[in-house]
Amino acid sequence: MLISGKEISAAVRAELLERTNKLKEKGRTPGLAVILVGEDPASKVYVNNKEKACFELGFYSEKYLLSENTSEEELLALIDRLNEEDKIHGILVQLPLPSHLNEKKVTERISPVKDVDCFHPVNIGKVLTGEGVFAPCTPAGVMEMLKFSGIDVAGKNAVVIGRSNIVGKPMAMLLLKENATVTICHSKTKDLKEHTSKADILIAAVGRANFVKADMVKEGAVVIDVGINRNEDGKLCGDVDFSEVSGKASYISPVPGGVGPMTITELMKNTLLSAEENLKNF
């Protein structure tokens, strides 16, 4: 069965819209500020999609398009101002940043209560302990897809290919929280196929086009493809060779139309959660 992130995202957004309208009745509108530094074409697309999602859900949004040569001091000053702005509940700095800007310093400057990307060490620590309000958007989107598809991860062998701070590591933590037995594989893993072929749930987040082949996948496994790549023909594809693996998996997510739409939806959910928490503490 195909796990359509596009369809699941639409269902989740319908719920978010209801919650947003209820919050507005209490005098609070979720607000998201997005900052883009430079002219990266892919980043521009992502920022526009986030702005569109805000409009669709009735959020207040601010967009800051800064020049490539913006200084670190200017960027940090903008973040400081937004941290203090009552109508802003989420702050997102689109990555990657130009090379002269320190990504770690910039992301850590965002207040943890407005860190809707969940990149701040405080929030990552809370993901580890299972106490966080926010979850990193892409891994949270994957968990939503599994839940919506009726896939219970408890007691299952889950293998994550990739150990990035944005996807691989937090993905493992969210699976562990739901009682999966988790293995993280990476570039130094010996005999990768030995691990992946035992996975009941296989999540590919390695960033290599069509990397996962059918002989790496257990018959009847659930396969989630987080990758977004271009093949030699310039066509968008994932980390999983869909044509090979789809005949072997019980559930599989496509690229495009899989995890991608869920990532932005989870960002909206985090922004709404921030606004709801803000109202509780008001």
pLDDT, tens only, 149-180: 999 999 999 999 999 999 999 999 999 999 99
For 145, which DSSP code?
H
From the candidates 117, 200, 225, 239, which is the catalytic residue?
Answer: 117
pLDDT reported for residue 281:
67
Contact 29, 23 (CB under 8 A): yes
pLDDT reported for residue 60:
97
DSSP E strand boundaries for 131-266: 157-161, 181-185, 201-204, 222-225, 229-230, 236-237, 251-252
Domains of the chain, residue spans: 27-111, 137-260
pLDDT reported for residue 133:
87
Return the H-helix or E-strand segment holding 179: none
From the candidates 26, 44, 52, 94, which is the catalytic residue?
Answer: 94
User: Could you check whether 27-111 and 137-260 share the same CATH topology?
Assistant: yes
- Give the CATH H-level superfamily of domain 137-260: NAD(P)-binding Rossmann-like Domain (3.40.50.720)
From the candidates 24, 26, 40, 50, which is the catalytic residue?
Answer: 50
Q: 3-state class of 248 per DSSP?
A: coil
Per-residue pLDDT of the chain (282 residues; tens, 9 = 90+): 999 999 999 999 999 999 999 999 999 999 999 999 998 888 898 899 999 999 999 999 999 999 999 999 999 999 999 999 999 999 999 999 999 999 999 999 999 999 999 999 999 999 999 888 899 999 999 999 999 999 999 999 999 999 999 999 999 999 999 999 999 999 999 999 999 999 999 999 999 999 999 999 999 999 999 999 988 888 999 999 999 999 999 999 999 999 999 999 999 999 999 999 987 765
pLDDT, tens only, 107-121: 999 999 999 999 999
Model confidence, pTM: 0.94
For 38-77, give the DSSP string. Answer: S--HHHHHHHHHHHHHHHHHT-EEEEEEE-TT--HHHHHH
**Is 215 labeled as catalytic in the residue annotation?**
no
End-to-end CA distance of the chain: 45
**Is 200 labeled as catalytic in the residue annotation?**
no
**Is 213 labeled as catalytic in the residue annotation?**
no
pLDDT reported for residue 86:
95
pLDDT reported for residue 40:
87
For 93, which DSSP code?
E
Architecture of domain 27-111: 3-Layer(aba) Sandwich (3.40)
pLDDT reported for residue 239:
97
